[in-house]
Amino acid sequence: MKLPAFMEMYQQLIAAPSISALEESLNMSNQNVIHLLAQWCETLGFIVEVTELEHAKGKYNLIARRGSGDGGLMLAGHTDTVPFDDSRWQFDPFKLSEQDNKLYGLGSIDMKGFFAFVLNAISELDELQQNAPIMILATADEETTMAGAQEIAKHPSLKPARCIIGEPTDMVPVFTHKGHMTTAIRIVGRSGHSSDPERGLNAIEIMHQVIANLLKLREELKNKYSTPHFAIPYPTLNLGHIHGGDNANRICGCCELHIDMRPLPGLSIKELQAMLTAAVAPINTHYPNSVSVIDMHEPIPAFTGSTDSALVKMAERLSGQQAIAVNYCTEAPFLQQLGCETIVMGPGSINQAHQPNEFLAMEKIQPSQDIIKQLIRESCFAYTSCIK
């Protein structure tokens, strides 16, 4: 079997739906994407290991290796995409469409396309000159729980020296990023008829007090913690979704608020959770057992890297761009647990991620391909000419 051309790989990846969602009706398996990658990796002489996630049936991770021993370079990405709103797309999300020098499709930059770049680059390097292992990692469920990366972090024999996660950064190396917590604050009151308020306990009114305390916590985080590398240098707390009650003439018996928190490196998840619990504790004391704080998924810690690492220095030199810090989060803190120098760096703009009509600008293809090829060559090959 011959490896398909770059654009053909791109088309096939986009045409294989692999949506991750917490809502079960939208959630899909990524098996078809994994199957494509397994075939293509085997064509290039990789040994492929595919495993089903322990706690997410129908979701799969792939590890492909070429070369023996520890060390070398791992090129990592996730195979899932976010859901989409069909009414806001002008193109078929599952068909790679070219228009105005752009390639449109769900996952075109976030981040199925990265695998086409990687495989094409490896195919243009002489395998006989390879002197360190190359690994390709494809994970499941990054867009929801990051369960795929969390399982990989416990892998007993995966020990790359370096890891590049190909999220869309416009090929600018990212050496650190914030973490992510999504938390539900649930108030359980006591319903009753609105004509007799004293016989009930209004959950919306209690939530009003909770929100006031959360806004105080937000200011405390902003004033107490700061890291100048970030465009937004403090931890953030966003009130994202609220729902409570069912009718105007009933005392609201239950109200739920969903919040998003983004911790800085150095601020641990446990510390942030403790601060959140402390913020609602006085209300729970006044109204016993009325307030619950619930993680909606496993919190994602911040990724802490160093601008002095050899991988960062190489990526800066090859890209001509200084390494940066970003406010969004990736699988980096989990893959870093394998003991490897880690950066986030890939084709496409983060501004297109999770957007209708997601696209890759075609003028970026060749420059991105050249940098990816050079990163692989300098990490795993013994010669200076990078083309067969």
| Predicted confidence (pLDDT) per residue in 337-380, tens digit | 999 999 999 999 999 999 999 999 999 999 999 999 999 999 99
Tokens 């390097």 sit on residue: 125
- Rounded distance between C-alpha atoms, residue 301 and residue 332, angstroms: 9
Q: Sign (positive/negative) of CA torsion 129, 133, 138, 144?
A: negative
- Rounded distance between C-alpha atoms, residue 215 and residue 9, angstroms: 48
Q: In the predicted model, what is the mean pLDDT of residues 10-17?
A: 98
Q: Give the domains, in start order, of the chain with CATH numbers.
A: 6-177+301-380 (3.40.630.10), 181-295 (3.30.70.360)
Residue 1: pLDDT band with limits 50, 70, 90? confident
Rounded to 5°, the CA angle 45-46-47 comes to 125
Residue 388: pLDDT band with limits 50, 70, 90? very low
Write the CB contacts of 287 (distance below 8 Å, at least 6 apart in sequence): 189, 201, 206
CA-based radius of gyration for the chain:
23
Tell me what pLDDT residue 194 has.
Answer: 95
- Rounded distance between C-alpha atoms, residue 253 and residue 74, angstroms: 51
pLDDT in tens, 265-304: 999 999 999 999 999 999 999 999 999 999 998 899 999 9
DSSP string, 160-195: -SEEEE--SSTT--EEEE--BEEEEEEEE-B-EETT
pLDDT in tens, 173-227: 999 999 999 999 999 999 999 999 999 999 999 999 999 999 999 999 999 999 9
pLDDT in tens, 112-151: 999 999 999 999 999 999 999 999 999 999 999 999 999 9
Write out the catalytic residue numbers. Answer: 80, 142
Tell me what pLDDT residue 383 has.
Answer: 60
Average pLDDT, the chain: 96
